[in-house]
Structure 1
Amino acid sequence: MRPLDVRGATSVITGAASGMGAAVARQLAARGARVALVDRNADGLAAVAASLSGTGHTVHVVDLTDDDAVTALAGDLIAAHPRLQTLITCAGSSMLGSIDQLTMAEMRWLMDVNLWGTVNITQALLPALRREPAAHITHLASVYGLAAPAGRIPYAMSKFAVRGFSEALRHELEGSSVSVGAIYPAGVKTGIILHGRYAAAIDPAVADRAAQAQAQMYHTEPADAARTIVDATVRRRARTMLGREARLVDLLARLTPTRYWSAMRRPMKEAIDTTTPI
Structure 2
Amino acid sequence: MARMQRLEVHGRTTVITGAASGMGAEVARELGRRGARLALVDRDADGLSALGAELTGTGHTTHVIDLTDDGAVSALATAIEASHPHVQALITCAGSSMLGDISQLTMAEMRWLMDVNLWGTVNITQALLPAMRREPAAHITHLVSIYGLAAPAGRIPYAMSKFAVRGFTESLRHELERSTVSVGAIYPAGVKTGIIGRGRYAAAIDPAVADRAAAAQAAMYHTEPADAAVRIVEATVRRKPRVMIGREARLVDVLTRVTPTRYWAPMRRPLREAIDTTTPIR
Bin of the TM-score, shorter chain as denominator length: over 0.9
For 1:93, what is the secondary structure of its paired residue?
Answer: coil
Residue matched to 2:80: 77
Please give the alpha-carbon distance, in whole angstroms, between the structure 2 residues aligned to 1:157 and 1:197: 16
After superposition, what is the alpha-carbon deviation per residue over 1:183-213, rounded to whole angstroms, capped at 9, x for unaligned?
Answer: 0000000000011000000000000000000
Normalising by structure 2, report the TM-score.
Answer: 0.98
Q: Cα offset for 1:137?
A: 0.1
Match for residue 169 of structure 1 among 172, 178, 187: 172
Residue matched to 1:30: 33
Please give the alpha-carbon distance, in whole angstroms, between the structure 2 residues aligned to 1:274 and 1:36: 38
Please give the alpha-carbon distance, in whole angstroms, between the structure 2 residues aligned to 1:210 and 1:71: 38
Q: How does 1:1-278 map to 2 (within 5 A)?
A: 1-278=4-281
Q: Cα offset for 1:83?
A: 0.4
Could you list the runs of 5+ residues in structure 2 that have no partner in the other structure? none
In the alignment, residue 91 of structure 1 is paired with which amino acid? A
Q: Cα offset for 1:53?
A: 1.3
Please give the alpha-carbon distance, in whole angstroms, between the structure 1 residues aligned to 2:245 and 2:133: 27
Please give the alpha-carbon distance, in whole angstroms, between the structure 2 residues aligned to 1:149 and 1:127: 37
In the alignment, residue 19 of structure 2 is paired with which amino acid? A
In the alignment, residue 85 of structure 1 is paired with which amino acid? Q
Normalising by structure 1, report the TM-score.
Answer: 1.00
Could you list the runs of 5+ residues in structure 1 that have no partner in the other structure? none
Please give the alpha-carbon distance, in whole angstroms, between the structure 1 residues aligned to 2:259 and 2:52: 45
Give the number of equivalent residue pairs.
278
Which consecutive aligned stretches of 4+ in structure 1 deviate over 2 angstroms post-superposition? none
For 1:267, what is the secondary structure of its paired residue?
Answer: helix
For 1:44, what is the secondary structure of its paired residue?
Answer: helix
Please give the alpha-carbon distance, in whole angstroms, between the structure 2 residues aligned to 1:49 and 1:248: 37
In the alignment, residue 138 of structure 2 is paired with which amino acid? A
For 1:138, what is the secondary structure of its paired residue?
Answer: strand
State the Cα RMSD in Å.
Answer: 0.4
In the alignment, residue 278 of structure 2 is paired with which amino acid? T
Q: Cα offset for 1:2?
A: 1.8
After superposition, what is the alpha-carbon deviation per residue over 1:31-52, rounded to whole angstroms, capped at 9, x for unaligned?
Answer: 0100000000000001111111
**Identity, % of aligned pairs?**
80
